[in-house]
Amino acid sequence: MTLADFVSRIILPLLGVGLVLTFFRILRGPSLPDRVVALDLTATFIIAISAVYSIASGQPSYLDAAVVLALITFLGTVAFAYYLHRRGGNE
Protein backbone atom coordinates (compact mmCIF):
# COMPACT_ATOMS: atom_id res chain seq x y z
CA MET A 1 0.00 0.00 0.00
CA THR A 2 1.45 3.34 -1.04
CA LEU A 3 1.11 6.57 0.88
CA ALA A 4 -1.49 7.90 -1.57
CA ASP A 5 -3.62 4.76 -1.10
CA PHE A 6 -3.35 4.99 2.68
CA VAL A 7 -4.39 8.65 2.60
CA SER A 8 -7.29 8.04 0.23
CA ARG A 9 -8.70 5.00 1.99
CA ILE A 10 -8.10 5.71 5.68
CA ILE A 11 -7.12 9.26 6.57
CA LEU A 12 -9.49 11.27 4.35
CA PRO A 13 -12.62 9.33 5.45
CA LEU A 14 -11.65 9.76 9.11
CA LEU A 15 -11.21 13.49 8.61
CA GLY A 16 -14.59 13.57 6.86
CA VAL A 17 -16.28 11.89 9.82
CA GLY A 18 -14.69 14.39 12.18
CA LEU A 19 -15.91 17.22 9.96
CA VAL A 20 -19.48 15.91 10.07
CA LEU A 21 -19.34 15.65 13.87
CA THR A 22 -18.16 19.23 14.18
CA PHE A 23 -21.02 20.39 11.94
CA PHE A 24 -23.36 18.66 14.37
CA ARG A 25 -21.78 20.58 17.25
CA ILE A 26 -22.17 23.86 15.37
CA LEU A 27 -25.87 23.22 14.90
CA ARG A 28 -26.54 21.89 18.39
CA GLY A 29 -23.98 23.75 20.53
CA PRO A 30 -25.57 24.97 23.74
CA SER A 31 -23.73 28.31 23.81
CA LEU A 32 -22.00 30.74 21.49
CA PRO A 33 -18.45 29.84 22.64
CA ASP A 34 -19.17 26.15 21.95
CA ARG A 35 -20.26 27.01 18.43
CA VAL A 36 -17.22 29.16 17.80
CA VAL A 37 -14.86 26.45 19.02
CA ALA A 38 -16.64 23.98 16.74
CA LEU A 39 -16.30 26.41 13.85
CA ASP A 40 -12.59 26.73 14.60
CA LEU A 41 -12.29 22.95 14.66
CA THR A 42 -14.13 22.78 11.33
CA ALA A 43 -11.54 25.11 9.82
CA THR A 44 -8.81 22.93 11.30
CA PHE A 45 -10.32 19.84 9.67
CA ILE A 46 -10.49 21.66 6.33
CA ILE A 47 -6.84 22.64 6.70
CA ALA A 48 -5.94 19.02 7.48
CA ILE A 49 -7.94 17.73 4.52
CA SER A 50 -6.18 20.22 2.25
CA ALA A 51 -2.76 19.19 3.55
CA VAL A 52 -3.49 15.47 3.25
CA TYR A 53 -4.88 15.92 -0.25
CA SER A 54 -1.74 17.84 -1.15
CA ILE A 55 0.34 14.87 -0.03
CA ALA A 56 -1.85 12.39 -1.89
CA SER A 57 -1.92 14.34 -5.15
CA GLY A 58 1.65 15.60 -5.03
CA GLN A 59 0.63 19.23 -5.60
CA PRO A 60 2.16 21.59 -3.04
CA SER A 61 -0.14 24.48 -4.00
CA TYR A 62 -2.82 23.11 -1.65
CA LEU A 63 -0.42 23.62 1.25
CA ASP A 64 -0.28 27.34 0.45
CA ALA A 65 -4.06 27.52 0.69
CA ALA A 66 -3.94 25.62 3.99
CA VAL A 67 -1.44 28.08 5.47
CA VAL A 68 -3.54 31.07 4.42
CA LEU A 69 -6.68 29.50 5.89
CA ALA A 70 -4.84 28.75 9.14
CA LEU A 71 -3.78 32.39 9.46
CA ILE A 72 -7.30 33.67 8.78
CA THR A 73 -8.76 31.19 11.26
CA PHE A 74 -6.29 32.29 13.93
CA LEU A 75 -7.23 35.94 13.43
CA GLY A 76 -10.92 35.06 13.67
CA THR A 77 -10.39 33.20 16.93
CA VAL A 78 -8.45 36.10 18.39
CA ALA A 79 -11.18 38.52 17.32
CA PHE A 80 -13.85 36.38 18.97
CA ALA A 81 -11.84 36.13 22.20
CA TYR A 82 -11.46 39.91 22.21
CA TYR A 83 -15.22 40.27 21.63
CA LEU A 84 -16.01 38.00 24.59
CA HIS A 85 -13.52 39.86 26.77
CA ARG A 86 -15.06 43.22 25.91
CA ARG A 87 -18.55 41.86 26.39
CA GLY A 88 -17.70 40.96 29.94
CA GLY A 89 -18.14 37.28 30.54
CA ASN A 90 -19.84 34.10 29.59
CA GLU A 91 -23.16 33.66 27.92
Q: Which residue has the higher pLDDT, 25 or 32?
A: 25
User: In total, how many domains does the chain have?
Assistant: 1
More confident residue, 8 or 90: 8
Mean pLDDT to the nearest integer, 62-82: 91
Asked if residues 69 and 47 have their Cβ atoms less than 8 Å apart, the reply is yes
pTM listed for this prediction: 0.83
Question: In terms of residue numbers, what domain contains 25?
Answer: 3-87
